[in-house]
Amino acid sequence: MSHIVNGKKIADIFSKGKPEALESEFDIEEVLSAVKSMRDKIEFYEALKKERSGAIQQEINKVTEKMNFLEKVILDTMDKVDKKSINYPGIAKVTKTTRKGKWVVNDSDEIVDHLKSTDIAAYNKVVSKKDVVSKRDLDSVLEMWEKTNQVPDCVEKTDPTTSLKVKFEDIRVDDADDDDSGQQNYDSLGF
């Protein structure tokens, strides 16, 4: 059977502003009941936070998916009209960029052995004393080898990717949209 907490007694304890001993050990029971109630409330809030976090993440994922879809529509349209950059004054400038494909090393040991046996200067540049491959330096070596068809089988190159860069311009709202308090009235923005 759970004990009902006397809210007034607990409020009086808090109103003192600092912890003070109770009149007797029998008063501890009521304080323990209040502590238990507070722990239950914290557990509830923690569960609620997780639930809301999951729901919020789902919404973020939905919006991200829609945004990616619309960006693909923009990219396809830019391809169709054969434009790499379009400026929409007052809104945004859209630029289509292409990133180089990335090198994927499928077998680190094999690439280290290949470097040792074919290009000791590249090996010294790319591999540390513990045979740890420096990805950045290896990329430049692989780019050079690609030009002379010397890329080993333990490495493959991903296809280049095209992405969209959008730079939104600042939206300025006339001073007439300020309310009497001097605060900006965002209702006029039409969201």
If you compute the radius of gyration of the chain from its CA atoms, what whole number of angstroms results? 32
| Coil, helix or strand at residue 91 | coil
pLDDT in tens, 62-94: 988 998 899 999 999 999 999 999 988 888 888
pLDDT of the residue at 154: 92
Give me the residue spans of the domains in the chain: 1-14+24-75, 99-160
Buried b (16+ CB within 10 A) or exposed e, 69-101: eeeeeeeeebeeeeeeeeeeeeeeebbbeeeee
Is there a contact between 161 and 72 (Cβ–Cβ < 8 Å)?
Answer: no
Q: Biggest alpha carbon distance in the chain?
A: 90
Is there a contact between 157 and 104 (Cβ–Cβ < 8 Å)?
Answer: yes
| Coil, helix or strand at residue 110 | helix
Nearest one of 64, 75, 70 to 164, comparing CA atoms:
75
Task: Please give the share of the chain, as a percent, with pLDDT higher than 90.
Answer: 23
pLDDT in tens, 159-173: 988 887 767 666 655
Size of the chain in residues: 191
Question: Which uninterrupted H or E stretch holds 155?
Answer: strand 155-157
Task: Please give the share of the chain, as a percent, with pLDDT higher than 70.
Answer: 83
